[in-house]
Structure formats: C-alpha cells, structure tokens
Structure 1
Amino acid sequence: MNSRRPLLLLAALAVAIAPFAALAASAGEAITDCVDLGSDQEIVRAGGGQQFFLRNGDDHYRVLFQRTCDSITMTSRVEISTDGQPNRLCGAGTRVKTTRDTCRVGAVEAVTAEEFATRKKRASR
C-alpha cells in the first residue's frame, strides 16, 4: 500500500472543507469592530434577560448582556448606543436603554440569518 495515499486524502479533505470551516468561524464569532445601525432593524428577545438577537439590514447579531437585563423582555422601546453615540453597536462599551432600565452589553456575536430566523420563530410561539 502506498504510504502517501492517506496524506493525499487528508489534504484533499482539508481543502474540501475549508470554505465551510471559514463560514462556521464567522458565525458566532465575537465582533471586534463597531457597527453603525441603520433604520432597518429588528429585535428578537430570547433567553430571558440574558440576550437578544438583532437584525440590522442583512447583518445579524446576538447581543449578550454583562448582567441580566430583565426589562428587555417587556419593553416597547430599545435604544442602543456606545460612548454616547446613538445607533452604534460595539463588542464593548455599548448600552441598551429600555423604558425602565439601562443595561450594559458584555459581548456581541455575528450570527447567520438562519439562526436569527430560528430564534424569531421560537420567540413567536
């Protein structure tokens, strides 16, 4: 048996799955840059007061709070700002103001459109 064959098969497999690995790495990965939010937004409340999901145009995010933010589950208004700049979402320094409270964001992750849709469907039940 040729001893190089397993290495060639392994290399071919690595090349074949590389695009999928890159896609998986981008979804669920913490964002490092700030995002200026537009007017086309949608928020899906999920996980009690621990997090919410945000659609900003074609981009989708999971926003996690530093501590529980109970008011996010029942508010009719959400304002997102970072360092006093409205409609700016960052992985650090972002605050979410509701009608009752202001909560600090602990992390922001990019998610896929499919994940956002799944969360939205669960929330509507």
Structure 2
Amino acid sequence: MKIFLSLAAASLSLALVAGNASAADGTELAECVALGNHQQIVRAGSSEQFYLKDGDNHYRIGLGRGCGSLAIASKIELSTDGNANRLCPSGSKVKTNREICRVDQVTTISAEDFARRQARANR
C-alpha cells in the first residue's frame, strides 16, 4: 500500500510540474522583442490571428479587428513605431501588400503547439 501511495504521489507531482511548464505557454508578451530575419508564419485560417516562429520562440499574434488581406498576402511585415522586425505587447503592426493591421495581443506558445498549427495548415 505504501508503494502504491508513493507512486501516486510521484505521478501527481510530475503532472503538476508538467502543468506548470506549459503554463508559461499562452502568457502575454511582457516586453518588446527583436525578431530575426528567419521567421516562419502559419496562418490560422482566419483574419484575426496567425502564428509566428522566430528562432526558438513561438507566438500567437492576435489582430483584434482582423486583417482581411492576411490570408492572401504574399508578404507579411511586422513592425513597431516604424522599427521593422520589432514585436511589442502594444503598438505593433502587420503590413501586408494591401493594408496595415493593428496587433492586439501577442502570446507565447510552445514549439509543439506551433508544429500542430503548421501541420493543420499544411493539410
């Protein structure tokens, strides 16, 4: 019985640690980040959000009022206050070949979540 309880407690501890590790994902961006030149974008099938991979960092970019040209844009540029490849919690913009859209929310996501989104988009 002691062994069973110890195993149950150990399993619960591992589950809590795993839960806390993924709790960092989905947190809002707290400060501005400089993006590299090797970005990968996955469109979410809507005009209200897309996913961004920049090196080892992954983000969900929310566009509060949407961005109608996002789905068909051949090029997407991110900037903040005129500074290209700068992503901030507020003031960032997405420029497509047709319009400029305001970024409403930036949250971090896991590499696994990005890969799932990418696999879905490639279907």
**Range into which the TM-score falls when normalised by the shorter chain:** 0.7 to 0.9
What is the percentage of aligned positions where both structures have the same residue? 45
d(CA) in 2 for partners of 1:23 and 1:47?
28
Query: For the residues of structure 2 that align with 1:16 and 1:59, how far apart are their CA atoms?
Result: 25
Deviation, 1:90, is 1.0
Partner of 1:5: none
Instruction: Provide the TM-score with structure 1 as the length reference.
Output: 0.85
Partner residue of 1:114?
Answer: 112
Count of residue correspondences: 119
CA RMSD of aligned residues (A): 2.0
Task: Please name the residue that 2:103 is paired with.
Answer: 105
- Look at both structures and tell me which one has the larger radius of gyration over its CA atoms: 1
**Over 3 Å off, 4+ runs:** 11-18
1:33 to 31, 34, 49: 31
The more displaced of 39-48 and 100-109 is 39-48
What CA distance in whole angstroms lies between the structure 2 residues aligned with 1:96 and 1:59?
18
Q: Report the Cα offset of residue 47 of structure 1.
A: 3.8
Q: What are the ranges of 5 or more consecutive residues in structure 2 without an aligned counterpart? A: 1-8
Q: TM-score, normalised by structure 2?
A: 0.86
Q: How does 1:10-21 map to 2 (within 5 A)?
A: 15-21=13-19
